[in-house]
Amino acid sequence: MITKYTKIYIAGHRGMVGSAVWRALEQKGYSNLLGKTSEQLDLRNQQAVNDFYNHEQPEVVIDAAAKVGGILANNNFPYQFLMENLQIQNNLIDGAHTAGIDKFIFLGSSCIYPKFAQQPLKEEYLLTDSLEPTNEWYSIAKITGVKACQAIRKQFNKDYVSLMPTNLFGYFDNFDLETSHVLPAMLRKFHEAKQNDNADVVLWGSGKPMREFLFVDDMAEAVVYALENELPEYLYNVGSGKDITIKELAKTIQKVTGHQGEIIWDSSKPDGTPRKLMDVSKMKNVGWEYSTAFKEGIEKTYAWFLENIEDIKEVRL
């Protein structure tokens, strides 16, 4: 039975998703939230995680901890993206199970699905074909987490559920150009170009790929929904169910930031997966759907970016 006093551990509570989950829970009156920084608890260390569980005894675990990055980072550091994510989630999942924790919410990514899977992506397409090569290391780790939670659910009848978000953006995003995802990187590029006499903005690829985006506070609401309800299946997609081209994304961000220059597409650079749209009907059928319109989410993110420009990690403006 979940109450406002249930002890809930949010792994990765200072990241974009984890902090959004923390805010959402606080706003709903949850008063027994637990978080540890990576300096306080190294999630790659199995013994440290087990000791933490034994000492703190949380009743619910929300796993928003991961080593994340865009195409460039995934390409350059395949071993770290595979091994560190496996270590983090295996320690959290197995430790929770061993400690007798009955509710676990595992957060993954839409990149777990095959590169050329039929659109929109349904949960049952998992493991039916090959992955996108540029982020397969991260994807394989996340698939393993999904399967670990499914196995515990099947064998021990515990409420371990996996939520697979689409591309998320919002407050506390990573705006570093070398390691960030497409939307925050683009937002920073347009902002800097505007500051630089509306200089031209050069973007990767053709601009033709389709992407779906979800404001991170909506993702947090989906996590709260999974916390407060026992969902009947092991895996759920979380998204808007709507996608746009990267060109449309660029035009929207250009408009929000007020950039007046030209957009130049560097087609020598990779596009990545041609399309990634989630089928979100399963989440909708159990009673949850997104609420923040795309442009509104961009406006909120840009306002936050401007307010926090001096403190944003690695922003180096």
Token pair listed for 92: 């959290």
Q: State yes or no: 242 annotated in a binding site.
A: no
Given the residues 138, 171, 225, 290, the one annotated as active site: 138
Q: State yes or no: 285 annotated in a binding site.
A: no
Residue with tokens 């959290």: 92
- Residue from 163, 157, 158 nearest 60 by CA: 158
Give the integer Cα–Cα distance in Å for 161 and 230: 9
Q: State yes or no: 211 annotated in a binding site.
A: yes
Q: State yes or no: 189 annotated in a binding site.
A: yes
Give the integer Cα–Cα distance in Å for 180 and 234: 29
Q: State yes or no: 241 annotated in a binding site.
A: no
Pairing of strands 8-11, 235-238: unpaired
Q: State yes or no: 63 annotated in a binding site.
A: no
Q: State yes or no: 18 annotated in a binding site.
A: yes
Token pair listed for 226: 């999974």
Q: State yes or no: 273 annotated in a binding site.
A: no
Give the integer Cα–Cα distance in Å for 312 and 220: 21
Q: State yes or no: 108 annotated in a binding site.
A: yes
Task: Verify whether residue 234 is a known catalytic residue.
Answer: no
Q: In the 8-state DSSP scheme, what is residue 205?
A: S
**Residue 8, helix vs strand vs coil:** strand
Q: State yes or no: 205 annotated in a binding site.
A: no
Give the integer Cα–Cα distance in Å for 132 and 149: 23
Q: State yes or no: 204 annotated in a binding site.
A: yes
Give the residue numbers of the binding site. 12-18, 107-110, 142, 165-168, 181, 189, 204, 211, 271
Give the residue numbers of the binding site for substrate. 189, 204, 211, 271
The set of catalytic residues is 138
Give the residue numbers of the binding site for NADP(+). 12-18, 107-110, 142, 165-168, 181
